[in-house]
C-alpha cells in the first residue's frame, strides 16, 4: 500500500480537491487557494467549487456594477453544475438572463430586493424548472404574471418566499392577484411566506384549498386576512399571522432547507472589507493577468510537489 506521507496534494483530482475546498469560505477559495499551487488554482478556475454560490449579504452593500461583475465571474465557473444561488439586489433584467442561461440545474434560487421585471421572469421561467425553493422578497417590480409563469414552469416548487415591505404597497389597492396566481399554479408548495401582501381572507383560503401539501403559511402583516371558523379544516397548516410577530430566524425553524440543495452549505461570504471591497481585487486572480501566470517566472519546482 502506498505510504500516505508520500502522496502529493497537488496531484489529487480536481473533483477531490473541489470537495475539500467546499469546506472553506468563499474568501479563501477566491483569494488564498489560487496562490498555493497550479493544480489548486486550476481547480478554482473550473466548475468543481461552484455548485453553491451565496453572496446574499455581501451584495447588499455593493453597487450594481460590482454585483454584476462578481455574478458573471462566479457563474462562469460552474459549467452547468450550479445548484444553489443566493444574491441580493440584482440591478437589472440582464442579470436574471445570465442566471437563467447557466442555471438550469438550480434547486435553490434566492433573489431578494432585485430590480427584475415581469417580462424577464416570464421569458426565462421555463429555464428554472428544477427549482424547488425560490425567494423573490422585496422585488417590487414583479407581480402576479411573474408568479404565474413561475408556477407553470417550476413544477417541483415546494418553497416560496414573497415577503414585501408594507411601505412599498401604499400605492396598491390589492395584491390578491398574486395570491390567486400562487393558488392556481403552485400546488406542491409546503412552505409559503407572503407577509405584508395586500391580500384578503378569500385569497388565503384559495391557497389553503389548492395547496394540499402546505405545512407553513406566513401571512404576517396581511391585515385584511381574518381567520375564522373556515380555517379550522386546515389545521394541518401552521398559520403565522396576520397579527403574530415572527423573527427572521424563527421564520425558517420549521422548514427543512436540506431538501432544496444537494450540497452542504459551505459558502459563507465573510470577505474582509479592506481586502475585497470596491477595488474588486479578486479579479486579478481570475482575469487575463492571472490566467497568464503559467507564462511567468513564478513557477513551482518539481521538488515542491509533495506539499502545497
pLDDT cut 70: percent of the chain above it: 71
Structurally, the chain folds into a number of domains equal to 2
What pLDDT does 109 receive? 97
Residue 190 belongs to a domain:
yes
Residue 36, domain member (yes or no): yes
- Please check whether residues 54 and 148 belong to one and the same domain: yes
**139 and 34, same structural domain?**
no
Asked if 115 and 91 touch (Cβ cutoff 8 Å), the reply is yes
The reported pLDDT for the residue numbered 157 is 98
Predicted confidence at residue 111, as pLDDT, reads 98
Predicted local distance difference test score (pLDDT) of residue 181: 98
212 and 63 together in one domain: yes
DSSP, residue by residue, 43-60: HHHTTTT-SEEEEHHHHH
Last residue of a domain, one of 208, 226, 243: 243
All 3 cell numbers of residue 295? 507564462
Parallel, antiparallel or unpaired: strands 52-55 and 108-110: unpaired
Q: Which parts of the chain register pLDDT below 50?
A: 1, 246-308
pLDDT on residue 16: 79
Q: Is 141 in contact with 119 (CB distance < 8 Å)?
A: no
103 and 133 share one domain: yes
Residues 6+ apart with CB under 8 A from 179: 194, 197, 199, 203, 204, 206, 207
Task: Determine, yes or no, domain membership for 59.
Answer: yes
Residue 36 structural domain: 13-48
Of 243, 265, 299, which residue is a domain's last?
243
Helices (H), the chain: 14-21, 26-27, 38-45, 56-60, 64-75, 93-102, 118-124, 144-153, 176-185, 201-210, 288-291
Q: Across the strands, what pairs with 240?
A: 218
- Structural domain includes residue 308: no
| Cα–Cα distance, 202 to 171 (Å, whole number) | 22
Considering the domain architecture, whether residues 31 and 87 belong to the same structural domain is answered as no
The per-residue pLDDT for 50 is 74
Bridge-based pairing state of the strands 216-218 and 191-193: parallel
Distance CA(105)–CA(261), nearest Å, equals 11
- Structural domain contains residue 168: yes
Instruction: With respect to residue 183, please indicate whether it lies within any of the assigned structural domains.
Output: yes
Pick the last residue of a domain from 205, 225, 243.
Answer: 243
Residue 205 lies in a domain: yes
Residue 197 shares a structural domain with residue 218: yes
pLDDT, residue 268, reads 29
CATH number for position 90: 3.80.10.10
Q: Are residues 70 and 166 in the same domain?
A: yes
Amino acid at each position: 500500500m502506498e505510504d500516505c506521507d508520500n502522496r502529493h496534494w497537488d496531484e489529487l483530482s480536481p473533483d477531490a480537491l473541489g470537495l475539500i475546498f467546499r469546506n472553506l469560505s468563499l474568501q479563501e477559495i477566491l483569494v488564498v487557494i489560487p496562490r498555493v499551487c497550479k493544480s489548486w488554482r486550476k481547480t478554482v478556475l473550473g466548475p468543481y467549487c461552484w455548485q453553491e454560490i451565496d453572496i446574499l449579504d455581501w451584495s447588499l452593500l455593493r453597487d450594481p456594477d460590482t454585483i454584476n461583475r462578481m455574478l458573471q465571474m462566479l457563474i462562469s465557473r460552474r459549467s452547468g453544475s450550479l445548484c444553489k444561488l443566493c444574491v441580493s439586489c440584482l440591478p437589472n433584467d440582464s442579470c436574471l438572463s445570465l442566471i437563467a442561461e447557466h442555471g438550469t440545474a438550480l434547486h435553490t434560487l434566492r433573489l431578494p430586493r432585485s430590480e427584475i421585471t415581469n417580462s424577464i421572469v416570464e421569458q426565462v421561467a421555463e429555464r428554472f424548472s428544477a427549482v424547488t425553493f425560490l425567494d423573490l422578497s422585496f422585488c417590487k417590480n414583479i407581480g402576479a404574471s411573474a408568479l404565474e409563469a413561475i408556477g407553470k414552469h417550476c413544477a417541483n416548487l415546494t418553497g416560496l418566499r414573497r415577503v414585501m415591505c408594507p411601505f412599498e404597497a401604499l400605492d396598491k389597492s390589492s395584491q390578491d392577484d398574486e395570491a390567486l396566481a400562487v393558488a392556481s399554479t403552485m400546488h406542491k408548495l409546503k412552505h409559503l411566506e407572503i407577509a405584508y401582501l395586500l391580500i384578503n381572507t378569500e385569497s388565503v383560503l384559495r391557497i389553503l384549498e389548492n395547496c394540499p401539501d402546505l405545512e407553513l403559511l406566513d401571512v404576517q402583516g396581511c391585515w385584511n386576512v381574518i381567520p375564522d371558523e373556515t380555517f379550522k379544516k386546515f389545521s394541518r397548516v401552521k398559520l403565522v399571522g396576520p397579527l403574530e410577530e415572527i423573527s427572521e430566524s424563527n421564520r425558517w425553524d420549521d422548514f427543512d432547507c436540506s431538501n432544496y440543495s444537494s450540497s452542504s452549505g459551505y459558502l459563507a461570504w465573510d470577505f474582509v472589507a479592506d481586502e475585497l471591497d470596491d477595488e474588486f481585487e479578486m479579479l486579478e486572480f481570475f482575469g487575463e493577468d492571472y490566467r497568464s501566470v503559467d507564462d511567468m517566472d513564478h513557477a513551482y519546482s518539481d521538488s515542491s510537489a509533495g506539499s502545497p
